[in-house]
Amino acid sequence: MAGQSNPDLSVFSAPEVEFLAEDEMVEIVPNIRMEALNMICGDYGPFFPQIASKVPLWLAVALKKRGKCTIRTPEWMSVERLTQVLEAERESPREFQPLPFHYVEISRLLFDHAHDDIPDLYMARSLIEDIRDVRFHKVETGLETISGRTHAVKLKNLSAMEVNIVRPFMVRALQAFYKHDSPHLIQQPRAMGSRQPQVVDRGPRRDLRPR
Amino acid sequence: MKARSVRLREAHKSSGSASYCSILWDLDGRHLVTASASDTSVSIHDVSQPSKPAKALHDHRAGVTALAFSANSSSLATGSIDHSVKLYSFPDGEFQSNVTRFTLPIRSLAFNKSGSLLAAAGDDDGIKLIATLDSSISKVLKGHKGSVTGLAFDPTNEFLASVDAFGTVIYWELSSGIAVHTLKAIAPNCDAENSLLNVLSWSPDGETLAVPGLRNDVVMYDRDTAEKLFTLKGDHERPVCFLSWSPNGKYIATSGLDKQVLIWDVDLRQDIERQKFDDRICCLSWKPNGNALAVIDVMGKFGIWEPAVPSCMKSPTDGALSLQAKNANGLLLFDEDDEKPSTSGSLDDAIEESHGESMPLSRKRLRKQSVYDDNSNEDSDGEDGLMRQIESRKRSSMKHQEGVRGSKEDYVSSSKWAKSKMQEAFQPGSTPAQTGKRRFLAYNMLGSITTIENEGYSHIEVDFHDTGRGPRVPSMTDYFGFTMASLNENGSVFANPCKGEKNMSTLMYRPFSSWANNSEWSMRLEGEEVKAVALGTGWVAAVTSFNFLRIFTEGGLQRHILCLNGPVVTAAGFNNLLAVVTHASGCLPSGGQMLEVKVFDISEGTQPVGCHLPLTPCSYLTWFGFSEEGQLSAYDSKGVLRVFSNQHGGSWLPVFSASKARKSEDENYWMVGLNASKLFCIICKAPESFPSVMPKPVLTLLSLSFPLASSDLGADDLENEFMMSNLHLSQIQKKIEEFSAAGLDTSELDDDAFNTEAAIDRCILRLIASCCNSDKLVRATELVKLLSLEKSVKGAIKLVAALKLPMLAERFNSILEERLLKESKGTSLTTNGTITNHTSLLRASPAPEITKVVETTSTSSSATMPQSHFSRHEKIEKANNMVGGMEPCKNPEGENAKIVFNQMKSYQPINPFAKKPNNQEKVEEKRRRDMETCKDASIRNPKEGVNQAPSIVASRGISNDGSNQKQSHGPVNPFAKASSNHEKSSLLDSIKKMKADHADEKVNNKKQKKKQEFK
């Protein structure tokens, strides 16, 4: 978690999450002939005009900005697929539909940079916003149900952005629980700083804080 | 919508007011019987002779309201307002008997399927069932409140359905005479009007009963449960007054009070054809053996609507025979029933008759129908009719495209004239015209030319896929209406078909860049029509309707005009090669086309290839062109890609089959191009078979693969790879030959050839492994013989040894030995020449001693020759010895070695190459003796013998160096083999070992490097 701007809260800023999402692969259709690009993360290409090839999102966006390619909309971003997902999200209040881990970021990046390649842009955009809202709402209501008797919270298919939003709350809440659970810690409030108590009380904490 | 209306002529004089008329076909479709409620006579019209006056039967004393034919049309029943039902024999029209009398007018008559029962009903109470044999009344069915206006026997003879004027339908069970179902007021109430009669009709298979519904529709009821199944609702604005099923039950014709007649496809529940009339049509009848519908209106005018069902669709009679046979249930009383004329023949007639006048109608229909065609399960008959019609006419390109589109359906049915149509000329990479949509005139690996028609003119755009490299071409307004185009990196060529006197066919060339202004040019062809265009480097070609191949230069100079053998199919250009596909002859009786391809070398003025172009049976050419490497290729409508290869004296190899490559059924591959190992295509989701311009299509790469039989080896990939690399190798070798003939540098190609060989060897080794694993030892040995590098043979031996197959290892060893032996013999001969060269070279430069020695002997060259021969021969001998000598040690049996030895011995004298060294050996020995004597005689230089040896080694060193350089020359070069031989034979050559080793190592290193590079 070296890249976090705020290590205390274990939270990423939105640009950071976006940065992570840029490593996802997307399909582009180049409109030029280009030799293979040798990057640190791997070799991409060679590129032939009108023949689709897979590259990371950051490269796709870079090429798109230069007018060298069109980005193919991923299958999950088609309007019919999104409509299905939205319906399913609304129908099952306890579950999350499987979407790419970085769906919020990817769709955002595509809407920003490749809006001319997306069929039914406005429809897709509003659908994704709806899906996001529904899911965030679900997360919130799910967290409200946490009570003293809750032993575990299971959140499957949660995406990066959603995890990121939940994270500070969860961390704080858990810290509070530990504090009240262990009598030793009562006399040591936050004065010790965030790192010290972690070292002291590593044993029980590990079980409860899977990363 | 309506292009032609059915001509009606008067059959019965009307009294000025509407009166119910009826019409009927006889069984063989030669006669029509008409009757009118306002006319006492029944008319029999001969259809084939319309001018002949109709035969009239004047037995009734009042208007005739009902007609019915027995199933074999041998008897005709008529019912009249005069309360009587009369029976006539047919076709002579003899009155036979008064079957029955009612107390009130007859409204309806019906024969059952077998003709044994006649049902008659009218305003009277009750339906009479009359046995036709003795005219006795077998039953009277009572239950209707009003007059019964419609009767229909179920084809399986189980039920009788009847409808009355109030719209009530009753199902009667014939055996018991009980009303099984009573459906009240489901049909329109027509009690008020006399000329209006409710009707109903069973489908020919007897499964459904069609009754006019209350909402201007037709409602289908189930046979057994009398439940409403579905309705045919469409364009009738007023209630349906008559309906009739087509003989096969696929269509239903309905007539409405809105004076129109509709034909419905029952399966699709869709109206497919309509016709509007001046008066209400009160009766319809399908021709039992043709695509025709007889209609009669309330004024007594009748006509024949032909073809009623669009000819592109399934004929209304198709399958009727089987239905009848099925329904007959052995109850046939009349033998004649079996003697129905064949449906296909009569259909043919029908189309022939109709062809002239109904063309526009059917074509217009076709456009609408093409939508249905895709999802309806059609037989090919209708389609074929279309083909024939189209064939017989000169078509504009628009119609042509529809034809092609129509024929894109794959029909399994083995219809007689399926696809017996010579395909029209087309441009590779073009898509059919679609109104209001942009379409491709040309699409290739380089770019595309698209066009869209606006009012009167077209808008043409040229786009290159590679926007970074290709030139920017401004879009063009086209007043010619170009339909053909071709594109390469230098320019584009366009042509339009001839559109009458004023619009002559024009050929136009637009270069993308030129040093001079105004370098675009156009040619007009008077009376001639461009059919296909192609262009290459520095030339433009157009093939015309006169079967002329016109070749122009890039600047527009008319360079050549050649005559072609037949009508052109397509043309393609690549650099200086032009390939033209023409029809070689008419279609085969089986429907296959005979195509011929010719390749011209424009710059040389030669014709390198001229052969037939194979096609999959019953398919047509859809793409034709060159691969990126310049291989001639063709793709047909069954999805088979063929590449022309010089192997086997020039033949076409199938390298791709869409049916095997297809992942899902609804994918169509639209061919764009190919290279050595991949095919580029655009995948279109069925039913589309070609791409649209927007969104920009994306190319998909598919691997080429031979359509191999599924082998028991289970290594199809390897086998395919093996064949594919062999194909490449042959292509490379052909190129090497061409290049070396032209005196060009072939080193790059040589490298390619070597790499391909190495790849083939690797593939073979893997195949050997899989052969060994599946216990196909014979196959494995065959494969070993195909290995090109000696090293790989050794590898194979190792491999087999590792797989614990000692027997196979032995066999491989003997193969290796044989091979070495052959090579050594081959090289001993071939190196002779080279060594002399080297020695002569040597002689020129360094050692004066040698020349001195030489002087002592007779001729200069022959002095060194024998020595070199000797040393070489010695080596070979030693190598042989080694093989012979070492073998027994390796081999516990020893016998094998002996056999090898024997073979070698017997082999030598047979081999003409082997003989020469033998002879030479003798000569050599003589000379050696001579030399020795010379040596003895001349005491000039005692060292010369020793000196000579190194000089020879040096010469060998040079030759090795030479082979180092030319190592990559592959099998064409004798040096390559010589060097490998050196490696082997020099191992034991003790004197020369020290120096030779150095050179050999070089060779080895180089080889290994190359191998590693590609491993």
Match 């764009």 to its residue by tokens: B672
**Predicted local distance difference test score (pLDDT) of residue B225:** 85
The answer to whether the CB of B820 falls within 8 A of the CB of B879 is: yes
Q: Is B670 within 8 Å of chain A by CB?
A: no
**Predicted local distance difference test score (pLDDT) of residue B954:** 43
ipTM above 0.85, yes or no: no
Distance of CA B104 to the CA centre of its chain: 66
Q: Residue A172 corresponds to which tokens in the numbers above?
A: 């704080």
Region B640-666 average pLDDT: 87
User: Could you read off the pLDDT tens digit of each residue along chain A, which spans 211 residues?
Assistant: 445 566 665 678 888 889 999 999 999 999 888 899 998 988 998 998 889 999 999 999 999 999 999 999 999 999 999 999 999 998 888 888 889 999 999 999 999 999 888 888 999 999 999 999 999 888 888 878 777 677 777 778 888 888 888 888 888 887 887 888 776 655 554 544 444 444 444 444 444 444 4
Q: Is A121 within 8 Å of chain B by CB?
A: no
Supply the pTM of this predicted model: 0.52
Q: Is A46 within 8 Å of chain B by CB?
A: no
Q: B467 and A32: CB-CB below 8 Å?
A: yes
A81-85, B313-317, B774-778: which has the minimum mean pLDDT?
B313-317
| pLDDT tens, residue by residue, B425-460 | 999 999 988 878 899 999 999 899 999 988 778 899
Q: A33 and B699: CB-CB below 8 Å?
A: no
Query: Chain B: residue nearest A29 by CA?
Result: B698
Region B802-826 average pLDDT: 87
Q: Is the pLDDT of residue B861 over 70?
A: no
Residues contacting B698, CB < 8 A, separation 6+: A29, A50, A51, A52, A72, B682
Q: What residues pair up with B242 in beta bridges, in sequence order?
A: B255
**Predicted local distance difference test score (pLDDT) of residue B204:** 85
For residue A47, the chain B residues in CB contact (below 8 A) are none
Query: Chain A: residue nearest B672 by CA?
Result: A50
Closest approach of B745 to chain A, Cα-based (Å) = 26
Give the residue with greater pLDDT, A66 vs B322. Answer: A66
Region B260-279 average pLDDT: 85
Q: Is B682 within 8 Å of chain A by CB?
A: no
Closest approach of A74 to chain B, Cα-based (Å) = 15
- Domain ranges in chain A are 14-22+73-181
CB neighbours of residue B191 within 10 Å: 15
Give the residue with greater pLDDT, B864 vs B740. Answer: B740
Q: Is the pLDDT of residue B994 over 80?
A: no
Q: Is the pLDDT of residue B941 over 70?
A: no
Q: Is B468 within 8 Å of chain A by CB?
A: yes
The conformation of residue A51, written as its DSSP 8-state character, comes to B
Nearest CB to B698 within list A34, A52, A68: A52
**Predicted local distance difference test score (pLDDT) of residue B996:** 44
B905 backbone dihedrals φ, ψ, rounded to 5°: -65, -45
Q: A32 and B468: CB-CB below 8 Å?
A: yes
B40-49, B317-326, B497-506: which has the minimum mean pLDDT?
B317-326
3-state secondary structure B708-742: CCCCCCCCHHHHHHHHHHHHHHHHHHHHHHHHHHH
Nearest CB to B698 within list A32, A50, A68: A50
For residue B670, the chain A residues in CB contact (below 8 A) are none
Closest approach of B465 to chain A, Cα-based (Å) = 5
Give the residue with greater pLDDT, B563 vs B136. Answer: B563
**Predicted local distance difference test score (pLDDT) of residue B889:** 39
A88-97, B195-204, B340-349: which has the minimum mean pLDDT?
B340-349
Region B888-896 average pLDDT: 41
Q: How far apart are CA A76 and CA A157, in angstroms?
A: 15
Closest approach of A33 to chain B, Cα-based (Å) = 6
| pLDDT tens, residue by residue, B504-547 | 899 999 998 888 888 889 998 888 899 999 999 999 999 999 99
Model confidence at B340, pLDDT cuts 50, 70, 90, reads: very low
The answer to whether the CB of B658 falls within 8 A of the CB of B671 is: no
Task: Give the three-class secondary structure for B148.
Answer: strand
Q: Is the dihedral of CA B267, B271, B274, B279 positive or negative?
A: positive
Model confidence at B322, pLDDT cuts 50, 70, 90, reads: low
Model confidence at B863, pLDDT cuts 50, 70, 90, reads: very low
Task: Calculate the alpha carbon distances from B76 to B88, B97, B110, B747 in Å.
Answer: 5, 11, 10, 92
Closest approach of A34 to chain B, Cα-based (Å) = 9
A14-22+73-181 topology per CATH: Methane Monooxygenase Hydroxylase; Chain G, domain 1 (1.20.58)
**Test mutation, B699, B702, B703, chain A, max A CBs within 10 A:** B699
**Predicted local distance difference test score (pLDDT) of residue B485:** 94
**Predicted local distance difference test score (pLDDT) of residue B197:** 80
Closest approach of B487 to chain A, Cα-based (Å) = 16
Model confidence at B1005, pLDDT cuts 50, 70, 90, reads: low
Percentage of chain B exceeding pLDDT 90: 15
